[in-house]
């Protein structure tokens, strides 16, 4: 498998807990989702693992991602934390393990946690490894440590209102794939006049247009939903082909509106 075999369409589980996440993943798997995204900090790895186990979908058919939390980035903690994630997920290996955020205030050097993550891959705990919320500077450091080919993706916030162009350009130039999280900007795309107009022309929803826009740029998308109709509708976005004019109209919606910006976030590009 080449490093770019992250399924383009995934199911995000951020903010979903308990029975809610079990139901969302179960419905998603039933509808045909095969890429499931979780993280240590979401506090739902065990429920995600349960939903997957109960689904009877063969493990080989699935692509499961988890992310290592900032408290587990040190050399001595990263691998034990990933082993704990695997126990919760009821798996011997995840398909993709990401560093969730760079070390807050760069207390730990990128080299330390990227080496530990590479070691986790070597030990077979993850089939692929990657990064999330890495700035251009952090990406450069990661590339120096493990090389471009070892970085399967950088998972970052991308939607029509935050297009992250500078970072996207750097990633493209360096052959690093991007996964767009919050691709629907928490539902804000549904109220946008431009997206609604384009959606009308295609007979689809504004959410589907926003997802098609990300997919057309080569990004993977991991929208989340608890509603069956939305889970189904999101998946249909892969069939939409936007024209150059439509892509350009959406390009104009960029307003640098960042929704995921915790106090420990890095200095964004």
* 56 phi and psi angles, rounded to 5 deg: 65, 10
First to last CA, the chain: 32
Contact (Cβ atoms closer than 8 angstroms) between residue 140 and residue 102: no
Give the residue numbers annotated as catalytic, written as ranges: 42
The predicted structure's pLDDT at residue 2: 44
Bridge pairing between strands 35-37 and 94-99 = unpaired
Each domain of the chain, given as residue ranges in start order, spans 11-185+219-225
The predicted structure's pLDDT at residue 50: 98
Angstrom CA distances, 190 to 46, 208, 263, stand at 32, 9, 28
The predicted structure's pLDDT at residue 112: 98
Under DSSP, is residue 30 helix (H, G, I), strand (E, B) or coil?
A: helix
The predicted structure's pLDDT at residue 207: 98
Prediction pTM value: 0.96
The predicted structure's pLDDT at residue 3: 46
Mean pLDDT of the chain: 97
* 269 residues of the chain, pLDDT tens digit each: 344 589 999 999 999 999 999 999 999 999 999 999 999 999 999 999 999 999 999 999 999 999 999 999 999 999 999 999 999 999 999 999 999 999 999 999 999 999 999 999 999 999 999 999 999 999 999 999 999 999 999 999 999 999 999 999 999 999 999 999 999 999 999 999 999 999 999 999 999 999 999 999 999 999 999 999 999 999 999 999 999 999 999 999 999 999 999 999 999 99
Pairwise CA distance, residues 131 & 139, whole Å: 8
Specify the CATH class of 11-185+219-225 in words: alpha beta
DSSP state of 17: -
Cβ burial, residue 183 (10 Å; 0-12/13-18/19+): buried
Angstrom CA distances, 94 to 38, 46, 88, 246, stand at 11, 13, 11, 37
Under DSSP, is residue 180 helix (H, G, I), strand (E, B) or coil?
A: strand
The predicted structure's pLDDT at residue 4: 52
Pairwise CA distance, residues 145 & 112, whole Å: 9
């Amino acid at each position: 498998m080449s490093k770019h075999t992250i399924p383009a369409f995934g199911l995000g589980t951020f903010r979903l807990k308990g029975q809610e996440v079990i139901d969302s993943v179960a419905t998603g798997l039933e509808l045909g989702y095969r890429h499931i995204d979780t993280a240590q900090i979401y506090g739902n790895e065990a429920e995600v693992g349960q939903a997957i186990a109960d689904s009877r979908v063969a493990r080989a058919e699935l692509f499961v991602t988890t992310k290592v939390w900032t408290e587990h980035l040190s050399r001595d903690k990263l691998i034990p934390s990933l082993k704990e994630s695997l126990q919760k997920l009821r798996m011997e290996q995840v398909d993709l393990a990401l560093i969730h955020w760079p070390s807050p205030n760069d207390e730990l050097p990128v080299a330390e946690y990227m080496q530990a993550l590479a070691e986790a891959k070597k030990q077979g705990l993850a089939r692929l490894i990657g990064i999330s919320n890495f700035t251009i500077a952090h990406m450069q450091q990661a590339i120096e440590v493990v090389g471009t080919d070892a970085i399967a993706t950088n998972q970052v916030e991308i939607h029509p209102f935050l297009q992250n162009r500078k970072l996207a350009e750097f990633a493209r130039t360096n052959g690093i794939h991007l996964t767009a999280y919050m691709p629907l900007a928490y539902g804000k795309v549904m109220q946008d006049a431009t997206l609604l107009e384009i959606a009308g022309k295609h007979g689809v929803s504004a959410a589907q247009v926003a997802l098609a826009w990300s997919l057309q740029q080569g990004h993977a998308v991991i929208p989340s939903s608890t509603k069956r109709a939305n889970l189904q509708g999101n998946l249909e976005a892969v069939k939409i082909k936007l024209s150059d004019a439509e892509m350009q109209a959406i390009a104009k919606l960029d307003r640098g509106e960042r929704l995921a910006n915790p106090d420990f976030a890095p200095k964004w590009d």
